[in-house]
Amino acid sequence: MSKTTITGRVFATALDLLEQHPEGIRWVDLNARIGASDPSLHPKTINGCVWKLVERYPDQVYKPEKGRFRLLKYKTADEGEA
């Protein structure tokens, strides 16, 4: 992921935020926190990147429930397959 592109910055910020929150982050909170971290990012760009987060990084991110994003490394055995 290139941090020099706009989408690269959004993805990098999203992954950093998920790293800081092992319990996961709800979609709306993730969007808001990315926007707060860099006000120059357009909200629709943030939304599009968050929407594609699991698709773009299936080896790092999953959705334990609808609307929540979490890093795979924090997935517990009792969660089963997501």
Look up residue 5 and give its two tokens: 């592109």
Domains of the chain as residue ranges with CATH = 6-72 (1.10.10.10)
pLDDT band at 79 (very low <50, low <70, confident <90, very high): confident
Residues paired with 81 in a beta bridge: none
20-41: b or e for each residue (b if 16 or more CB lie within 10 Å)?
Answer: ebeebbebeebbebbbeeeeeb
Could you report the per-residue pLDDT of 6-50, keeping only the tens digit for each? 999 999 999 999 999 999 999 999 999 999 999 999 999 999 999
pTM value is 0.88
